[in-house]
Amino acid sequence: MESEKRLPPKWMLSIVKMLIHPDYREDIEGDLLEIHQQNVSKFNVQKSNQLFFREIILLIRANLIGLNFFNKSVMKKKDILILTMICLALLGAIMLPFLQGSFSIATVIVSGISQAVGFIGLVFVPVGIVGLAVNQISKFKAEPSYKSRFNYAMALTALIMGSLLYAGLNTALFINGDIKAGTLTLLMGIFLVYRAFSYLQRNAQVIPFQRVFVYLICIPLVAFYGRKVLAFELADMSRNHTINQAAIWITEIESYKKITGEYPDSINELNAELPQPKYMGIRDFSYQKKNGTYNIFFVQWVDMGAVQEVVVYSNTDDYNMKGHFASYDASQPHWKYFWLD
């Protein structure tokens, strides 16, 4: 059982087997597993799995290049630049709640939608692979109109699904009362969808749209990487930094107890200038006195903005957090964090 824990997840191993040619599979898979075991000894299982997933991304990239997906007939320099900008924008959106700044629910929503692209968008990766394969095969056929119809249908499908995701973002902004951001994204979305649809209609029988299939492969994979690795790494960083900020709160509260003999009923009784979290996805610190002791806690959102993470300090380890589906020890003693739906 211990040896199984040191192996990467089975779904990762399955992807590796699919990506590597059978003639080289045993050697390459053995090398990857050996590196993984070294990483487990050096770091931990979670970190090692993340590094193993990065190797999978590199294998996917190598396969795409090896299949000549990025040749000039498919992707020109302009297209590569656009794809790169889209991927960077997605990663930037995923990072927003974990960057320093004042709390904003809009950053949580934007990050959640961007992470959802990586989760929902995986459905389109096989579509992109099939589309590219059809384009390659159709070069040897005498019916280019079939390719045009197929490409147009796939491009239109991608546009519709992208529009629905964008509409979800816009609706969430209005629901959460961010009228200014919601109005701006609504107007921008209407303009972009109109321009994209007009472009498809004008070029339905002319442009092969091969680059669309590259987008359908690369964009979901980049967003999925951002969700599975980047978001959780940054969440750890912002959580640990915010816990360190709370040390001043604890010091002031304990000093109050030494002077008065009891903990304050309200944090306002301290009459001290206390720091607040400095991340756009973390709400302010909260204080709660109970049964002769107290809790300090703050909230941040992770995993597509659907998981609420409540980080709690209790000097007696009495957390009494109800409704959570997972709990973990934090980086400092007497701190734990809980995940709630």
pLDDT, tens digit (0-9, with 9 covering 90-100), for 98-132: 988 888 888 888 888 888 888 777 777 777 776 66
Please name which of 231, 234, 12, 227 lies closest in space to residue 121, comparing C-alpha atoms.
Answer: 227
What is the reported pLDDT for 246? Answer: 92
Q: Which helix (H) or strand (E) holds 210?
A: helix 210-225
93 inside domain: no
9 inside domain: no
What is the reported pLDDT for 67? Answer: 47
pLDDT in tens, 214-225: 888 888 888 888
Least reliable range by pLDDT among 93-102, 127-136, 161-170: 127-136
129 inside domain: no
Residue 243 has pLDDT above 60, yes or no: yes
Query: Cα–Cα distance between 175 and 226 in angstroms, integer?
Result: 26
Average pLDDT over residues 38-66: 76
> How deeply is 226 buried, as exposed, middle or buried, from its count of CB atoms within 10 A (0-12, 13-18, 19+)?
buried
How much of the chain, in percent, has pLDDT values that exceed 70? 77
Query: Cα–Cα distance between 178 and 172 in angstroms, integer?
Result: 9
| Residue 306: alpha-carbon gap to chain centroid | 12
103 inside domain: no
Residue 312 has pLDDT above 90, yes or no: yes
Q: What is the mean pLDDT of the chain?
A: 78
| Structural domain for 297, as ranges | 239-340
What is the reported pLDDT for 141? Answer: 45
Most confident segment among 65-79, 135-149, 317-331: 317-331
pLDDT in tens, 11-31: 787 777 766 767 777 888 888
85 inside domain: no
Average pLDDT over residues 159-168: 72
What is the reported pLDDT for 242? Answer: 93
What is the reported pLDDT for 301? Answer: 84
Q: Which residues have a Cβ under 8 Å from the Cβ of 165 and sit 6 or more positions away?
A: 113, 116, 117, 120
Residue 298 has pLDDT above 90, yes or no: yes
* Higher per-residue confidence, 64 vs 94: 94
Residue 164 has pLDDT above 60, yes or no: yes
- Residues facing residue 82 across a β-bridge: none
| Residue 270: alpha-carbon gap to chain centroid | 39
pLDDT tier at 135, thresholds 50, 70, 90:
low
Most confident segment among 79-83, 167-171, 209-213, 272-276: 272-276
Q: Which amino acid is at 113?
A: I
273 inside domain: yes
Q: Which amino acid is at 241?
A: H
Q: What is the DSSP letter of 284?
A: P
261 inside domain: yes
pTM, rounded to two decimals: 0.60
8 inside domain: no
Contacts within 8 Å (CB) and 24+ apart, 259-264:
262/292, 263/289, 263/292, 263/293, 263/294, 264/289
Domain count, the chain: 1
